Amino acid sequence: MLIRSIALAVLSMVASRLLTAQADAIPKLRPEMLVTTAWLAEHLNDPGLVVLCITSTAESYSRVHIPGARQIKLGDIAVTRDGIPNELPPVEELRKVFAAAGVSNSSRVVIYGERFNLFAARAYFTLDYLGVADRAALLDGGIEKWTAEHRPLSTETPKVKPAALTISLRPGILVDTAAMRDLAKKPEAVALIDARPTKEFTGEQLSEDVTKAGHIPGAGSLFWMDMLVSRENPVLKPEAELRRMYAQAHATAGQPLVTYCRTGMQAAFDYFVAKYLGYDPSMYDASFFEWSLKDLPVEVSAKQ
C-alpha cells in the first residue's frame, strides 16, 4: 500500500512537471496588441488615443472613416526601391509620417486599414521596426466589423497637431536576402513562414509579377487570410486555433521565426499574429519577389 502511494505521488509529480514544462513552452499571449470594436467605441474620445486609418488613396479615407481617425497612405510607408515593391522608406521619412499623424511616444495607437487590416498590419510592423509599437494595437475586425455593427462613421478630416516622436530602431526584425539565404540553409533551426495563398506556396500558381513557382526551401505555409474567421466577420480566429496553425507551419517557442510573402505585405499580417501569440518574429521584406529575381533555390510541393 505504501509503495503504491509513493508510486502515485511520483507519477503526480512527474505529470505536474510535464504540464509546467508544456506551459512554459507556449509563448505568452500579448493581448494588448488587439482591441475590439466595443473597446474602441468606449474609448474613442480618450485623451492620448490616436486612431490610424491606413489606405491606398485619399479618396477611400475621405469617403468614410471612424470618427477622429487620421489617414496614413500606404505609399508613404511602403515604396518601390531598386525595382522591389513595398520596401521601407528611409527611417527619418517614416518617423515624420507617424509624427505628422500625431503619434507620440505616449500615444495609445489603434490601427485599422484596407483589405481586412492587411495594410494595418504593415503599419504595425513599421512602428515595430521604429521601436515605437509597444502602445500600438490592431482593431480586430477592422472597419468591416465596425460598419457591420452600425457604429458611427465620419467624412470629416480632423485637425492634427504633429507630435514629437523619438524612435528606437529595431533593425533585427528586418531580414534581407543575404540573411535569408543563410537561414534557408538550416531550416531545422528557424521557422520560415510563407504568408501567400497555398497555391502560390506549392507552385501550382505564380505570384503576381514573379516568374518562379514555389517557395523558399524549408518554409511552411500559412496564408494570412486563413487566420480570419471569414470575410464577413474578419476578426482573428481563437487563440488555440491560431497556435495550432503556427505549430503546423513549424513555429517553435524560443526558435527564430521569419515571415515572408510576395513583397512583404501579407507577411506583415503573419508577423503581427506571430508576435500577438508571443513569438519574437522577423520579416523578410523583399520576400519571394527579390528571392526569385536573384535566381535562388526554390521548392515545389504538393498542397499541404
Cell 472597419 locates to 143
Q: pLDDT: is 7 or 251 the higher one? A: 251
Residue 115: what pLDDT?
97
Tell me the per-residue pLDDT of 86-130, one tens digit each, with 9 for 90 and over.
999 999 999 999 999 999 999 999 999 999 999 999 999 999 999
* Residue 175 shares a structural domain with residue 286: yes
CATH number of the domain where residue 255 is located: 3.40.250.10
Residue 303: is its pLDDT beyond 60? Answer: no
* Residue 284 shares a structural domain with residue 197: yes
> CB-side exposure of 23: number of CA atoms within 13 Å?
6
Over residues 162-180, the mean pLDDT reads 97
Reduce the DSSP state of residue 80 to 3 states and report it: strand
Dihedrals φ, ψ of 283, to 5°?
-135, 135
> Binning pLDDT at 50, 70 and 90, where does residue 81 land?
very high
Other Cβ atoms closer than 10 A to 92: 9
Residue 76 within any structural domain of the chain: yes
- Count of the separate structural domains present in the chain: 2
Q: pLDDT: is 303 or 284 the higher one? A: 284
Residue 9: is its pLDDT beyond 90? Answer: no
Full 3-state SS string of 223-291: CHHHHECCCCCCCECCHHHHHHHHHHCCCCCCCCEEEECCCCCHHHHHHHHHHHCCCCEEEECCHHHHH
Residue 188: what pLDDT?
86
Tell me the per-residue pLDDT of 243-274, one tens digit each, with 9 for 90 and over.
999 999 999 999 999 999 999 999 999 999 99
> Binning pLDDT at 50, 70 and 90, where does residue 16 land?
very low
Q: Is the dihedral of CA 265, 270, 276, 278 positive or negative?
A: negative
Residue 188 within any structural domain of the chain: yes
Residue 27 per-residue DSSP state: P
Residue 179: what pLDDT?
95
Residue 24: is its pLDDT beyond 70? Answer: no
Tell me the per-residue pLDDT of 121-157, one tens digit each, with 9 for 90 and over.
999 999 999 999 999 999 999 999 999 999 999 999 9
* Residue 127 shares a structural domain with residue 45: yes
* Residue 144 shares a structural domain with residue 255: no
* Residue 177 shares a structural domain with residue 108: no
Residue 22: what pLDDT?
45
Residue 5: what pLDDT?
52
Residue-by-residue DSSP string for 177-224: HHHHHHHHT-GGGSEEEE-S-HHHHHTSSPPTT----SB-TT-EE--G
- 262: its cell numbers: 510576395
* Residue 207 shares a structural domain with residue 106: no
Residue 84 within any structural domain of the chain: yes
Residue 58 within any structural domain of the chain: yes
* Residue 179 shares a structural domain with residue 125: no
The CA–CA distances, whole Å, from 142 to 14, 107, 122, 170, 281 equal 45, 20, 14, 27, 23
Residue 218 within any structural domain of the chain: yes
* Residue 112 shares a structural domain with residue 188: no
* Residue 125 shares a structural domain with residue 183: no
* Residue 187 shares a structural domain with residue 90: no
Residue 23 within any structural domain of the chain: no
Structural domain for 213, as ranges: 171-293
* Residue 186 shares a structural domain with residue 138: no
Cell 535566381 locates to 295
Over residues 200-210, the mean pLDDT reads 96
Residue 161 within any structural domain of the chain: no
> Binning pLDDT at 50, 70 and 90, where does residue 186 land?
confident
Residue 157 within any structural domain of the chain: no
Over residues 166-194, the mean pLDDT reads 94
Q: Is the dihedral of CA 11, 17, 19, 21 positive or negative?
A: negative
281, 274 Cβ separation under 8 angstroms: yes
Distance CA 6, CA 271 (A): 48
Distance CA 118, CA 135 (A): 19
Distance CA 124, CA 272 (A): 7
Residue-by-residue DSSP string for 148-179: HTT---B-PPPP-----------GGGEE-HHH
* Residue 177 shares a structural domain with residue 256: yes
Model confidence, pTM: 0.91
Per residue in 167-186, is it b (16+ CB within 10 Å) or e — as a string?
beeeeebbbebeebeebbee
